A and B are shown apart, each in its own frame.
Chain A
């Protein structure tokens, strides 16, 4: 307990940073649920592909510890763009391959869930077997750097050293803490604006509230589904970049635990609610950190999920409740 009080500010701020990443990934779950009442189980893989994109961009440019600040910033911007493109692309592919054919046939939501679980494993294993895939394509030699150790942890070269910026309480807030939190908030703000203000955003809200009325208004539902998946993918790409900056290591199955946490964050905040994803993510991140300080690190997942159960017992619709459709400016 003494440890908790001694490190209160550090635990809280790093918890907020972690929670921001959960929140960005949670947005993907919550938007797809809000619009399609469907849990995109494979969203964790959308995130995981983003983390590898970041690693590969760093490999590609041969980044090392001797980076100047300017080139490091350039590298981070480039990897974020690539991660957004890759994650967005994987999300679009999922919509096209794993969902749209089922939606067209009016399959029960359960079938779509199974399809998503299948897609999730397929995507994760494809990443874990990328050396074999490269070998199969005869590209092993050219791609060695990228496919070596396909089932092991892959890390960013040590290029990013967090510099202390300012003190909150007794904790030195670092550049990385600040970058992660600010970037996540900016992205969420942009997404929130898009959903509220843009034409397609209004189409999304309309489909979420009443799909057949939306069709009668001339909303192209297929387009709305694509945009929903794409936005979730873009947010996951940003999350993947921030995750790699902060954690630095990924693996072909790194999406799983993070995906479960992000999904938990979405449910905690009220699934279908964009701002709920933010609240849920931050609460979960901080609770995990506090829990592991009070009881012990190995208990942090237990704390997170007990918290979920307790909150849902008292607020079954999550902290903020409301769905995407009903959420208002």
Chain B
């Protein structure tokens, strides 16, 4: 297992955000967490990245207990995140944002680095057109592409994607999801958090439903997509 989340609980002050969560992500797979707003999906990702402290439980990455490691150490180990709300650096250009994604890398003067820039720009040709634009002046969809491209620049083994489809036009949503599949095909393990359950389940090897801080159902993407109660609650009654 590349990632193991064991018995994880996180509080915001006195409020329990997630409670005794357990799941694993296999190397090379796409896993997804679906659920309503406020169910604890982003909290889970933030905790895996180390932005939030755990109350109970452990996070194990590639056999190493990373529960108490600083966020930057986790990035070095190979966990990268495209955060909720994109979190791009608004005052930097697209290129500088991509460079920030590679902050932990030491090979920035090498061709390998340039290849990764090219790879990100091939996945998102739109970014190439805007390479010297100030990121804060781009549209939401472009910023989303930048956030994912930037997360890839760390050459992560595991990429955490928090609501990549949020606020995007339907056509763009399709595009983003096929790029996610592409990223996975290129060898990166993906943990995807989504409100767009239909798309997420279609692409996921394993899926978990989060509801008010707890995992209520788990299975393969296809299993959950075929489950009547999930269709009712998250898929608008039909797939």
Contacts and interface: CB of A to CB of B under 8 A. Distances in A.
Contact of B100 (A206, A221, A327, A328): A206
Interface string B63-78: 0000000111001100
Contacts of A322: 91
Nearest to A207: B89
Contact of A216 (B87, B90, B99, B136): B87
Task: Please give me the 9 A-B residue pairs with the lowest Cβ-Cβ distance, nearest first.
Answer: A218-B75, A326-B91, A218-B104, A213-B87, A215-B71, A220-B72, A218-B72, A209-B89, A217-B103
Given A210-B87, A216-B81, A326-B91, A199 B51 contact: no
Given A210-B87, A210-B89, A217-B150, 11 more contacts: A202-B100, A205-B89, A206-B103, A209-B90, A210-B90, A214-B100, A216-B71, A218-B104, A323-B91, A325-B89, A325-B90
Interface of A: 199, 202-203, 205-206, 209-210, 212-221, 322-323, 325-328
Nearest to A325: B91
A216 B75 contact: yes
B134 A328 contact: yes
A323 to B, nearest CB: 8
Contacts of A219: 72, 100, 103
Contacts of B83: 212-213, 216
Nearest to A208: B91
B103 to A, nearest CB: 5
Contacts, number: 75
A217 B90 contact: no
User: How big is the B interface, by class?
Assistant: 20 to 34
B81 to A, nearest CB: 5
Nearest to B91: A326
B152 interface: no
Contacts of A220: 70, 72
Given A216-B49, A328-B134, A209 B91 contact: yes
Nearest to B105: A218
B179 interface: no
B134 A218 contact: no
A215 B73 CA distance: 10
Nearest to B84: A212
Contacts of B103: 199, 202-203, 206, 217-219
A220 B80 CA distance: 14
B99 A202 contact: yes
Given A218-B76, A218-B103, A219-B103, A213 B71 contact: no
Contacts of B88: 210, 213
A274 to B, nearest CB: 13
A199 B104 CA distance: 10
Nearest to B70: A220
Given A202-B99, A216-B87, A218-B103, A209 B92 contact: yes
Given A210-B87, A327-B91, A217 B96 contact: no
A320 B50 CA distance: 36
B70 A212 contact: no
A216 B89 contact: no
B91 A328 contact: yes
B30 interface: no
B200 interface: no
